[in-house]
Chains A and B, each alone.
Chain A
Amino acid sequence: MPLVEVSNAGFGYNGRAIFKNINLEVREGEVFCIVGPNGCGKTTFLDCLLGLLKLDQGDILLGGRNIKTIRPPDVAKVLAYVPQSHQKTFPYTVMEIVLMGRASYTGIFSSPSPADISIAEEALAIVGLQEYRNRPYTQLSGGEGQLVMIARALAQKTPVIIMDEPTAHLDFKHELTVLETMVQLVRNTGKSVIMATHFPNHAFYFENNDVPTSVALMDKLTFSVIGRPGEVLSEKNLKSLYRINARVVSYQLDHNTEVKQIIPISTLYSKESERVN
Chain B
Amino acid sequence: MTIFAAHILVVDDVEDNRTILFRRLQRLGYFNLSEAADGVAALEHVLTHRPDLVLLDVMMPKMNGIEVLEAIRAADLLEETAVVMISAASETETVVRCLDLGAEDYLPKPFNPSVLRARIGSVLEKKTLRAEVRRQLDRLERELEIARRQQLAMVTSDFDTVGARFDVFAAMIPAEEVGGDLYDFFEVEPGIVMVAIGDVSGKGIPAALFMARARSLLRAGVLQFRDLAGRMPRPSEVMALLNEELCKNNESSLFLTLLVGFASVAEDRFTFANAGHLPPVRLQGEGACAVVHPADPPVGVLADMVFTDHAFDFKAGDGLVLVTDGVVEAEDTAGAMYGTARFLAACTAGLDDGSARRIGDRLMADVVAHVGDAKAFDDLTLLVLCRRPS
Report if A and B associate in a common complex: no
**B interface list, Cβ under 8 A from A:** none
**A interface list, Cβ under 8 A from B:** none
